[in-house]
Amino acid sequence: MKKVAILMSSFMGEQYLEKQLKSIINQTHKNWLLWISDDGSTDNTLNVIKKMNCDKIKILRGPNLGNYALNFLSMIKNKNIKADYFAFSDQDDIWKNDKLAKAILYIKNINTNLPAAYCSRSILINSEDEKIGFSKKINIRPNFKNALIQNIMSGNTILFNNKCKKLIEKSNITNLTSHDWLIYQVITGSEGFVYYDQNPSIYYRQHDNNLIGAQNSFFSVFKRILHHFDGTYKKSLNIQLRFLLENKFLLSKDNQIILNNFFKNKNHSNLFKRLQVLKLGIFRFSKKGNLALLVSIILNQI
């Protein structure tokens, strides 16, 4: 049975953590270790973990940088964490009991020399564990031309292989917007394999303390649109692009060319030069998203 290292970033998570830990312990795939990198919790988080009395749970001291993505990254780059597969876990969700088994099933036959990952939709639940909907359905083939400007992989559903981890271990990263976006960019950029499962694998909790959330509400959609035009999205995008530019060796030759041309044109003072990025085939997964992309290019906000 293949070994899975589950990577969880924790911070002030006492309220919902126990339910998530129990759902991991109850997985049908039993060959796993859970690595929890705690980023300086001062509540009861560490006591909740210890009370589980499970020798398959290992606690690490996080980087304490106030950045959950860099906390996850510290585990990806930790060479002492070894396994066949690696799965991200949030501290406040609930996994279906076949989550790991199903994810492995979809990517186990991929050539081990290729980076590969599984991700899925989610069932949304509230603070009382009541179902309130589903995450957005993605109907595109995962692609680097999409990954350059958008992440479609929800981190709390991701399972990736050892080849992907090895690539990221080799990289030089000092800043990061999103650990799941990183996985999407590295795998598609290196011509690897991403499987997007339309069937949910987890219960994704929505509450006031969510760092991101499913972003399906009217307020979340409005906020996301606002971020396209107030510089927030552009800043996040540039952080991810800087990583790619500094680690171009991770990408195929064709994708290096796409990256270079995209970065060269996207901030050009000439509008017609900026519009050249569309000729590269860069796209978002929805019609509304592509319209927002066009407006962002015109307003020089990518």
Q: What percent of the chain has pLDDT over 70?
A: 93
Whether the per-residue pLDDT at 104 is higher than 70: the answer is yes
Average pLDDT over residues 81-86: 98
Read off the tokens for 196: 């997007």
Considering only residues 78 and 214, tell me which one the structure prediction assigns the higher pLDDT. 78
pLDDT band with cut points at 50, 70 and 90 for residue 121: very high
What domains are defined for the chain? Answer: 4-205 (3.90.550.10), 218-298 (no CATH)
pLDDT of residue 66: 87
**Three-class DSSP category at 297:** helix
When pLDDT is averaged across residues 70-99 and rounded to a whole number, the result is 97
CB atoms within 10 A of CB 7: 28
The tokens for 220 are 């979340």
pLDDT band at 51 (very low <50, low <70, confident <90, very high): very high
CA distance 283 to 162: 29
Residue 281 has a CB neighbour count (10 Å cut-off) of: 12
Quick check: 211 and 72 in contact, CB under 8 A? no
Determine which of 8-22, 153-167, 228-242 has the lowest per-residue pLDDT on average.
Answer: 228-242
Query: Average pLDDT in the 185-206 region?
Result: 97
Confidence of residue 83 (pLDDT cuts 50, 70, 90): very high
Convert the pLDDT of each residue in 139-154 to its tens digit: 999 999 999 999 999 9
Return the pLDDT at 228.
Answer: 60
Whether residue 77 is predicted with pLDDT greater than 80 in this model: the reply is: yes
> At residue 91, does pLDDT exceed 60?
yes
pLDDT tens per residue, range 153-177: 999 999 999 999 999 999 998 899 9
Question: Nearest-CA neighbor of 255 among 146, 145, 179, 153?
Answer: 145
Query: Cα(235)–Cα(224) distance, rounded to whole angstroms?
Result: 13
State pLDDT tens for residues 207-220: 776 555 555 554 55
Q: What is the pLDDT of residues 237-260, one digit of tens each?
A: 999 999 999 999 999 999 999 999
Contacts of 213 (CB under 8 A, 6+ apart): 206, 220
Checking if the pLDDT of 230 tops 90, the result is no
**Residue 223: its pLDDT value, please?**
57
Q: In terms of C-beta density within 10 A (0-12 exposed, 13-18 middle, 19 or more buried), how is residue 84 classed?
A: middle
Rounded to the nearest 10 degrees, how much is the dihedral formed by the CA atoms of 288, 190, 63, 29?
90
